[in-house]
Amino acid sequence: MIMKEVIMEEMINKEKLKNRLISTLSDDWRDALKSYLDGEEFDNICNILSMRILDDKEIFYPKLDNIFRAFKLTPLSDVKVVILGQDPYHTPNTADGLAFSTSREAYMPPSLRNIFKELDDDLNIKNNSTDLSPWAREGILLLNASLTVIEGKANSDEAMWKGFSDKVIDVLNKDTRPKVFVLWGNFAQKKAGLVSEPHIIIKSAHPSPLSANRGFFGSHVFSKINEALRYFNYDEIDFKLR
């Protein structure tokens, strides 16, 4: 009981929570985002998350140590491709900190199912694992525009994280190494104005069941990604999950 109280005391302290989050970033992301992380807006985010934990009323996902997981698995220096999602899954034990990914066993989210269908049709690659961390280690930043979500409330934290996700895209855009930005659906495509040459943008409909038949299926997005990487003289992505 004493140990549990100590852990809760640490988590609900805003400054300790802030330091804990920042510690999960790779070193180069921590340096690149320093001005934002030292600013008032990030302080406000940490305060909101601390209060949620303290009140124990608004459960949010993913787990605290997975909020910045995408930036740990894919350091800034390794980013070749950015796939932009909207927000984490808002059901229990599903969000794992990577856009469209889940480590939840025996559950295939509908959008991910459609992503795998297009991958099979495009490159004849069949995947069953729902954990996309191998893609992250290949250089794909699986970035959700909103890094947290309240249980059962899709898009609940969109406004809270907008400044952060815009800052991340700005950092990626200003980095001189060319990258491929994959923007699925209207929400992601609103970020297109933040991206300029020499980077390449690939757009299509969102893989959601509501829109996949309106331009995601048949988009050949995965072969287009590798075509762009060849143009940049990068190694292709191995999309096979093992």
Q: What residues are labeled active site? A: 87
Stretch (H or E) spanning 44: helix 40-55
Cα-Cα end-to-end distance for the chain: 40
Cα of 234 vs its chain's centroid, Å? 22
Q: What is the dihedral of CA 112, 116, 118, 124, to 10 degrees?
A: 170
Backbone torsions φ then ψ of 203, nearest 5 degrees: -115, 150
- ∠ CA 174-145-184, nearest 5°, is 90
3-state secondary structure of 141: strand
Backbone torsions φ then ψ of 25, nearest 5 degrees: -80, 150
